[in-house]
Amino acid sequence: MLNGDADVIVVGGGISGLAAAWALQRRGVRVVLLEAAVRAGGTIGSTREQGCLIESGPNSMLETTPLIGELVGELGIAGERIAAQPAARSRYILRDGKLIALPLSPLAFFVTSLFSAGAKLRLLREPFIGRGARAAEESVADFVRRRLGTEFLDYAINPFVAGVYAGDPETLSVQAAFPRLHELEQKHGSLIRGQLLGARERARNPDKSKQVAAMLSFRDGMQTLTDAIARRLTRIEFNAEAVRIVPGEHGYGVTVSGAAGGRNYRARAVLVATPAQAAARFTAPFAPHAAAALAAIPYPPLAVVVSAYRRDTIAHPLDGFGFLVPQRERRLVLGAIFSSTLFEHRAPENLVLLTSFIGGMRQPELAQREEGEIAGFAQAELAALLGAPVHADFIRVTRWPHAIPQYTLGHLDRIARIEEAERNFPGLFFCANYRGGIAVGDCLKSADRAARQVAAFLGSGDGAA
Ligand SMILES: Cc1cc2nc3c(=O)[nH]c(=O)nc-3n(C[C@H](O)[C@H](O)[C@H](O)COP(=O)(O)OP(=O)(O)OC[C@H]3O[C@@H](n4cnc5c(N)ncnc54)[C@H](O)[C@@H]3O)c2cc1C
């Protein structure tokens, strides 16, 4: 069965595939989006139970690009958009078993007990430390140790990397995972000098850095965004797991498995917007180097535990975004978000909602335990660190067996092999969170770039049917 030709087949309906499909449809391109699951959104998933909003993936996004505002406007969901509450500006880091507020101003930095006097002095030496070699790839940990010192690595960067990537700074590549930091060093010779000197340049750039971007979500959670795109797409098929892509003379054939038997689709272009392992399976028969590169991108498992407690039963004031746990502290959680402080209406009036993260590159084995055991880890840690009761009033666990792609050493070479496949197979494109950044805003930027490339390819007549 041939399911009607399209100009482009988008495989995968997470935010990357959805946003690219929408951008193409708006340009008049005939798109069919194939999604393996029963709903769109991929990692983004929001449900409400007993008045509690469960975000099983991202809790928020940073408005790092004007594309977010434009998209929200086009989709007619601006009225649903909500901003993070001012109290969520503060963040806590665990040190010696105590939660210490992260200093947010230079003065606070000098008085904080989070870093020793030696670590503070070490930081002041940063502008006098020479550049690393431009060509040599360096781990985030080596880069930070070299420029900022070991204590800053242990009590600032290690927990931050766990919070963003569920990652390990010893294995991530600074060039691939934090390209701006690497650029700052290369351009200004120092992160501190670059931060001060680059202010005017940053003000002119419509894209905002993650430090200054506004944080947002939607009244009913992040899935509002992906649902809104899915509703607007003319052709989106669920339960449609693509199992094969075959390049042909006039474009690509895509085979989908399903209860009703296999279906075939044909189009001049294919945009692969699945996680890297699936993309590796599709490309192995005809682009083995790209497939090997995709298969080599690690995705550690991660568990998300959403729990609710009566406000008056928790000792901590929960006056911030949440807390992060450095590896040195040897705990069972990577950190937790104070979800009901971050946004309004996350839980009934008398309850507070917390979202804890367990596993990642640091402790992958913990995220693979039974749900009940994982719930136990989270409750025990919240009791120890926040003074919460031993049992939550409400608790839900989501396990992601392959959560977040890690931009480890060698990642840029892997991306180069994917680019090579795109050059060798005109009309084949890749766009997902293993490329261009893992944050939702990064995915939107990558999707916009991919949609332009697909549209240019279709407009050029290259590979026309
Ligand atoms: C627990 C967690 C918390 C996070 N928190 C934040 C946060 O607070 N802020 C933030 O900005 N980012 C956060 N992120 C990262 C961000 O959510 C993701 O990077 C982003 O949503 C990924 O989108 P994607 O479309 O690239 O991939 P995915 O969401 O993985 O989507 C891929 C889609 O492809 C589909 N698919 C797979 N195989 C096939 C196939 N063979 N055929 C058809 N379809 C297929 C899948 O079903 C899925 O829908 C978080 C991630 C996780 C896991």
Which atom of ligand 1 lies at the shortest distance from residue 62's CA? 11
pTM, entire model = 0.95
Label each residue of the chain as H, E or C.
Answer: CECCCEEEEEECCEHHHHHHHHHHHHCCCCEEEECCCCCCECCCCEEEECCEEEECCCCCEECCCHHHHHHHHHCCCHHHEEECCHHHHCCEEEECCEEEECCCCHHHHHHCCCCCHHHHHHHHCHHHCCCCCCCCCCEHHHHHHHHHCHHHHHHHHHHHHHHHHCCCCCCEEHHHHCHHHHHHHHHHCCHHHHHHHCHHHHHHCCCCCCCCCCEEEECCCCHHHHHHHHHHCCCEECCCEEEEEEEECCEEEEEEECCCCCEEEEEEEEEECCCHHHHHHHHCCCCHHHHHHHHCCCCCCEEEEEEEEEHHHCCCCCCCCEEECCHHHCCCCCEEECHHHHCCCCCCCCEEEEEEEEECCCCHHHHHCCHHHHHHHHHHHHHHHHCCCCCCCEEEEEEECCCCCCCECCHHHHHHHHHHHHHHCCCEEECCCCCCCCCHHHHHHHHHHHHHHHHHHHHHCCCCC
Question: Confidence band (pLDDT; 50, 70, 90) for 465?
Answer: very low
In the chain, what are the domains?
Answer: 6-44+221-297+407-460 (3.50.50.60), 46-87+299-400 (3.90.660.20), 115-128+137-204 (1.10.3110.10)
Tell the residue nearest (CA) to atom 8 of ligand 1. Answer: 58
Which atom of ligand 1 lies at the shortest distance from residue 434's CA? 26
pLDDT score of 200 more than 90: no
Burial of 72 (0-12, 13-18, 19+ CB in 10 A): buried
Evaluate whether 139 touches 174 at the Cβ level (below 8 Å). yes
Query: Does residue 16 have its Cβ closer than 6 Å to ligand 1?
Result: yes
- Predicted pLDDT at 172: 98
pLDDT score of 15 more than 90: yes
- Predicted pLDDT at 446: 98
- Predicted pLDDT at 260: 62
pLDDT score of 192 more than 90: no
The identity of residue 208, as a single letter, is: K
Q: What is the rounded average pLDDT of the residues 6-29? A: 97
pLDDT score of 454 more than 80: yes
Evaluate whether 168 touches 359 at the Cβ level (below 8 Å). no
- Predicted pLDDT at 217: 98
Evaluate whether 44 touches 304 at the Cβ level (below 8 Å). no
State which of 205-219, 257-271, 305-319 shows the largest mean pLDDT.
305-319
Q: What is the C-alpha to C-alpha distance for residues 107 and 87, in angstroms, rounded to an integer? A: 20
Query: Does residue 15 have its Cβ closer than 6 Å to ligand 1?
Result: yes
The identity of residue 79, as a single letter, is: G
- Predicted pLDDT at 191: 87
Q: Give the lowest-confidence range in 80-89, 192-201, 355-364.
A: 192-201
Evaluate whether 44 touches 73 at the Cβ level (below 8 Å). no
Distances in whole angstroms, Cα of residue 74 to Cα of each of 67, 68, 228, 232, 244: 10, 10, 10, 10, 33
Question: Confidence band (pLDDT; 50, 70, 90) for 463?
Answer: very low
Question: Confidence band (pLDDT; 50, 70, 90) for 464?
Answer: very low
Beta bridge partners of 33: 10, 236
pLDDT score of 167 more than 90: yes
Task: Give me ligand 1 centre to Cα 301, in Å.
Answer: 13
Please choose from 165, 274, 334, 402 the residue to mutate so as to test ligand 1's pocket, defined by most ligand atoms within 8 A of CB.
274
Closest CA to 316 of 341, 344, 333: 341
Which atom of ligand 1 lies at the shortest distance from residue 281's CA? 41
Q: What is the rounded average pLDDT of the residues 355-370? A: 98
Tell the residue nearest (CA) to atom 35 of ligand 1. Answer: 12
Which atom of ligand 1 lies at the shortest distance from residue 34's CA? 43
Distances in whole angstroms, Cα of residue 368 to Cα of each of 166, 302, 353, 428: 15, 8, 23, 35
pLDDT in tens, 103-129: 998 899 999 999 999 999 999 899 989
Tell the residue nearest (CA) to atom 4 of ligand 1. Answer: 58
pLDDT in tens, 369-426: 999 999 999 999 999 999 999 999 999 999 999 999 999 999 999 999 999 999 999 9
Higher-pLDDT residue of 95, 136? 95
Question: Confidence band (pLDDT; 50, 70, 90) for 4?
Answer: low
Task: Give me ligand 1 centre to Cα 304, in Å.
Answer: 14
Instruction: Tell me the average pLDDT of the chain.
Output: 94
Query: Does residue 440 have its Cβ closer than 6 Å to ligand 1?
Result: yes
Query: Does residue 359 have its Cβ closer than 6 Å to ligand 1?
Result: no
Which atom of ligand 1 lies at the shortest distance from residue 443's CA? 26
- Predicted pLDDT at 194: 83
Evaluate whether 101 touches 91 at the Cβ level (below 8 Å). yes
pLDDT in tens, 80-110: 999 999 999 999 999 999 999 999 988 999 9
Task: Give me ligand 1 centre to Cα 440, in Å.
Answer: 9
Which atom of ligand 1 lies at the shortest distance from residue 274's CA? 34
- Predicted pLDDT at 64: 93
pLDDT in tens, 433-451: 999 999 999 999 999 999 9
Query: Does residue 360 have its Cβ closer than 6 Å to ligand 1?
Result: no
CA atoms within 13 A on the CB side of 233: 29
In sequence order, the 6+-apart residues with CB closer than 8 A to the CB of 375 are 305, 307, 392, 395, 397
Task: Give me ligand 1 centre to Cα 432, in Å.
Answer: 8
pLDDT score of 195 more than 90: no
Q: What is the C-alpha to C-alpha distance for residues 390 and 383, in angstroms, rounded to an integer? A: 6
pLDDT score of 131 more than 60: yes
Q: Cα 67 to the chain's mean position, in Å?
A: 17
Please choose from 32, 43, 283 the residue to mutate so as to test ligand 1's pocket, defined by most ligand atoms within 8 A of CB.
43
In sequence order, the 6+-apart residues with CB closer than 8 A to the CB of 312 are none
Q: What is the rounded average pLDDT of the residues 335-346? A: 97
Closest CA to 407 of 47, 164, 241, 158: 164
pLDDT score of 427 more than 50: yes
Q: What is the C-alpha to C-alpha distance for residues 140 and 122, in angstroms, rounded to an integer? A: 18
